[in-house]
Chain A
Amino acid sequence: MPLTLKDIARMAGVAESTVSRAINNKPGVGEETRKRILEIVRKYNYQPNQLARGLAIKETRMLALIVADLSSADYKIIKSIEAYANEQGYNCLICNTDNNLEKEEAYLQLLSNQRVDGAIIIGGELANKNIINTALNKNGLMVLVNCLAEELLIPTILVDSARGGYLATSHLLQQGLKKIAIVTGSSKDFLESEKLAGYLQALADHNLELEERYILETDGSREGGYDAFLQLLEQGDLPEAFFVTRDILAVGLIDAIKMGGYLIPEDFSIVGYGESFISSIINPSLTVVAEPLEELGRYAAKYMIDLLNGRDPEEMIKVLEPVLKVGESSVLRTG
């Protein structure tokens, strides 16, 4: 049975209120007594009962992390949010909605029913009725992560995907490469269109004319990446480099390049997107645009805790920039 406040009080020979003050670093406890109490706390690894504590101060010390779709990227964000929240004395409840509005509504009711102190909404692309209504009715504090809102301003943390496309393309341009193809998923996918916009901007900034045939839109699959290379091969006008906007597309593209007997980066330089497990097992090691997922999670948790403490976040919309992590796939080694 876990140790209670009462047990510690008995062991230390003090009142329960003294133990509480010592643990919560409140005044009114002598230094010696405090030391003695904290020693017992450490020795028995005492964990305050968050629920009881919440009832006492009308807080649950619990955050709902409402995730539209538990993808690998979200996993890193969630871990980072949880780490920061734990440091600040909050626990997290992970709620996966599978993009289902009814599930999401049920999870948001945790917030309106004050079963959690705040909700961090992760992914889902566009804030929907449930989120807008919760915000409008001031039914609880929310922070959006990688989710846009058309109607309302809700504290938001985002990664600038267009910037990622720009960084990838600029990196290849800096290698002296001019014929750069982009292999993307569906242009109807918002993030894919953002990456394409970054690619186009980088070309424009280097006064390079857009070559339509180097924009290869695929279904975003491994086969899509493979077929993209074959398509260029048939056209007979191969680029010098590729920016591939998804890890799995890169796998397919690299398969095709290798099957053709070409070398990376000698024949084609490649930059991928996303620092994922898949990217990490590609050979040669893939240069990637890495999204700062841990930072994203940390900001999300920090924003939420700021709001809970009655402070406005430093910026209502925080846009984080991805960084380029250079591997062996894009830089030709000399000597």
Chain B
Amino acid sequence: MAKVTLTNVTKRYGDVVAVNNANLEIKDKEFLILVGPSGCGKTTTLRMVAGLEEITEGTIEIGDTVVNDIPPKDRDIAMVFQNYALYPHMDVYNNMAFGLKLRKFPKEEIDRRVNEAAEILGIKNLLDRKPKQLSGGQRQRVALGRAIVREPKVFLMDEPLSNLDAKLRVQMRTELSKLHDRLQTTMIYVTHDQVEAMTMGDRIVVMRDGLIQQVDTPLNLYNNPVNMFVAGFIGSPAMNFLDAKLVKEGETYYLEGNGDFKIAIPADKVAKNPEIKSYVGKDVVFGIRPEDLEDASVVEKTVTADNSYMATVEVVEPMGSEIYLYLTVNEHSMIARVDSHSTAKVGDNVKLYVKTENLHVFDPETELTII
């Protein structure tokens, strides 16, 4: 058990900066997720913590020890990747134990650790089975067991579930979260899948082009993204972005979209983010999540010109409990996740109700959040 601290950590490969001045404090016992698109630097960050990659600049501490020059085997970490080797001639016990045996641990200690890990993973009854007698989920547990028996201070996981089919992946997500609760050990987990990130982590680090964009709890990332990248990356379907101009009429600030919409920004949001006032007359980006757009005909709210606009339905995707509407307003296209009672059909002109309390406004130049 240990905290992990990255201070001004940079990794360069020649001229390419893979990780740029990363600062991060991972708390003891925390389940931290590194997420971002391919090439964002998340795996490189994990490997630097593991000691597989050397750090170009900065320091990494595990506990209170700077580990920059400590080899991986002495860092008290265990790694789990998607492709792991289960040796077909060894039973589950030995597949979990061989690393300890090769490190010359005493037999009694190996026994204790393997049995404890098997107990935690619920595979105690499988210890004498060979890998070919196991299901996909059981195999994955053996691979986790191999990491657990090392009793590391920190677990490092790089997309460990990406080889599993969708159903098993969902199941293993839950199991990994439970495992973290039981082990009470710091876990750093890399994924490109924002759903995995949202459902598993205590906190999430969103990365892009080697830079940490935001570190926060899943809900805070969702509700208060710091920029358009985080806003667009977290949430599925992704947030809609519409070009708009900020106008002020009386005391009210509006997001006006080329005559297509004119949405009033709630006064309390303006009060909380007074910076918005300096954007009057300027271009901004109006951000709204699909779940914050509703078919006005089925909503039990007061629909006015200030919180709605008309759009044309291009595609209707019934999902059962809800319907995805793919819509356009002139050149703007967007997705709305509406109530299943909506009767909107392709080609219809529907009125969309905007949950204005959840709208976002971004600076189109810096892409930073204004509201």
Give Cα A162–Cα B130 distance, bound, in whole angstroms.
Answer: 14
Interface check A149, CB cutoff 8 A: yes
Pair A129/B71 contact, Cβ less than 8 Å = yes
Residues of A in contact, count (CB < 8 Å): 29
A193 contacts which chain B residues (CB < 8 A)?
A: 101
If A133-B53, A136-B47 touch, does A150 touch B71 (CB 8 Å cutoff)?
no
B83 contacts which chain A residues (CB < 8 A)?
A: 152-153
Q: Mark A179-204, 1 if CB is under 8 A from B, else 0.
A: 00000000110100100010000000
B94 contacts which chain A residues (CB < 8 A)?
A: 197
Contact of B87 among A129, A163, A319 (CB under 8 A): A319
B73 contacts which chain A residues (CB < 8 A)?
A: 128-129
The smallest C-beta distance from A254 to any residue of chain B, in angstroms, reads: 29
Contact of A129 among B72, B81, B146 (CB under 8 A): B72
Pair A148/B79 contact, Cβ less than 8 Å = no
Interface check B319, CB cutoff 8 A: no
The smallest C-beta distance from A330 to any residue of chain B, in angstroms, reads: 24
Give Cα A279–Cα B56 distance, bound, in whole angstroms.
Answer: 52
Give Cα A4–Cα B271 distance, bound, in whole angstroms.
Answer: 84
Give Cα A129–Cα B47 distance, bound, in whole angstroms.
Answer: 11
Pair A152/B81 contact, Cβ less than 8 Å = yes
Pair A187/B107 contact, Cβ less than 8 Å = yes
The smallest C-beta distance from B157 to any residue of chain A, in angstroms, reads: 11
If A129-B52, A129-B72, A136-B47 touch, does A154 touch B102 (CB 8 Å cutoff)?
no
The smallest C-beta distance from B94 to any residue of chain A, in angstroms, reads: 8
The smallest C-beta distance from B365 to any residue of chain A, in angstroms, reads: 37
Interface check B136, CB cutoff 8 A: no
A163 contacts which chain B residues (CB < 8 A)?
A: 89
A41 contacts which chain B residues (CB < 8 A)?
A: none
Pair B89/A152 contact, Cβ less than 8 Å = no
Nearest CB in chain A to that of B98: its residue? A148
Interface check B99, CB cutoff 8 A: yes
Q: Mark B187-226, 1 if CB is under 8 A from A, else 0.
A: 0000000000000000000000000000000000000000
Pair B84/A153 contact, Cβ less than 8 Å = yes
Interface check B41, CB cutoff 8 A: no
Pair B89/A156 contact, Cβ less than 8 Å = no
The smallest C-beta distance from B82 to any residue of chain A, in angstroms, reads: 9
B85 contacts which chain A residues (CB < 8 A)?
A: 148-150, 152-154, 156, 316-317
Pair B52/A132 contact, Cβ less than 8 Å = yes
Give Cα A264–Cα B94 distance, bound, in whole angstroms.
Answer: 35
B72 contacts which chain A residues (CB < 8 A)?
A: 129
Interface check B88, CB cutoff 8 A: yes
Nearest CB in chain A to that of B72: its residue? A129
If A132-B52, A133-B53, A190-B98 touch, does A150 touch B89 (CB 8 Å cutoff)?
no
If A160-B89, A163-B89 touch, does A152 touch B51 (CB 8 Å cutoff)?
no
Looking at B79, B101, B107, the one whose CB has the most chain A CB atoms below 10 A away is B101
Give Cα A228–Cα B71 distance, bound, in whole angstroms.
Answer: 39
Pair B104/A188 contact, Cβ less than 8 Å = yes
If A150-B99, A190-B102 touch, does A162 touch B47 (CB 8 Å cutoff)?
no
Q: Mark B92-121, 1 if CB is under 8 A from A, else 0.
A: 001000110111100100000000000000
Give Cα A133–Cα B88 distance, bound, in whole angstroms.
Answer: 24
Nearest CB in chain A to that of B80: its residue? A151
Tell me the interface secondary structure of chain A in the complex. mixed
Give Cα A163–Cα B94 distance, bound, in whole angstroms.
Answer: 14
A187 contacts which chain B residues (CB < 8 A)?
A: 107
Pair B47/A152 contact, Cβ less than 8 Å = no
If A136-B52, A150-B146 touch, does A126 touch B47 (CB 8 Å cutoff)?
no
Pair B102/A148 contact, Cβ less than 8 Å = yes
The smallest C-beta distance from A192 to any residue of chain B, in angstroms, reads: 10
Contact of B88 among A132, A153, A188, A319 (CB under 8 A): A319
Give Cα A317–Cα B81 distance, bound, in whole angstroms.
Answer: 17
Pair B99/A162 contact, Cβ less than 8 Å = no
The smallest C-beta distance from B132 to any residue of chain A, in angstroms, reads: 11
If A136-B52, A151-B81 touch, does A162 touch B89 (CB 8 Å cutoff)?
yes
Give Cα A129–Cα B75 distance, bound, in whole angstroms.
Answer: 12
Nearest CB in chain B to that of A132: its residue? B52
Nearest CB in chain B to that of A186: its residue? B104
Give Cα A149–Cα B81 distance, bound, in whole angstroms.
Answer: 12
A101 contacts which chain B residues (CB < 8 A)?
A: 71
Give Cα A87–Cα B104 distance, bound, in whole angstroms.
Answer: 40
Pair A126/B99 contact, Cβ less than 8 Å = yes
The smallest C-beta distance from B32 to any residue of chain A, in angstroms, reads: 20
Nearest CB in chain A to that of B107: its residue? A187
Nearest CB in chain A to that of B156: its residue? A151
The smallest C-beta distance from A323 to any residue of chain B, in angstroms, reads: 15
Nearest CB in chain B to that of A155: its residue? B85
Give Cα A129–Cα B104 distance, bound, in whole angstroms.
Answer: 18
Q: Mark A214-232, 1 if CB is under 8 A from B, else 0.
A: 0000000000000000000
Give Cα A152–Cα B94 distance, bound, in whole angstroms.
Answer: 16
Q: Mark A133-162, 1 if CB is under 8 A from B, else 0.
A: 100100000000000111111101010101
Interface check A125, CB cutoff 8 A: yes
The smallest C-beta distance from A219 to any residue of chain B, in angstroms, reads: 14
Pair A319/B89 contact, Cβ less than 8 Å = yes
Pair A317/B146 contact, Cβ less than 8 Å = no
Nearest CB in chain A to that of B131: its residue? A317
Pair B88/A129 contact, Cβ less than 8 Å = no
If A132-B52, A133-B52 touch, does A317 touch B99 (CB 8 Å cutoff)?
no
A126 contacts which chain B residues (CB < 8 A)?
A: 99, 102-103
Contacts A/B (CB < 8 Å), 6 sampled: A125-B102, A126-B103, A158-B89, A317-B85, A319-B88, A319-B89
The 6 closest A-B pairs by CB, nearest first: A153-B83, A188-B104, A153-B85, A319-B89, A160-B89, A150-B99
Given pairs A129-B72, A133-B53, A153-B84, 15 additional interface contacts (CB within 8 A) = A132-B52, A133-B52, A136-B81, A148-B87, A150-B85, A151-B81, A152-B84, A152-B85, A153-B83, A153-B85, A158-B87, A163-B89, A190-B101, A319-B87, A319-B88
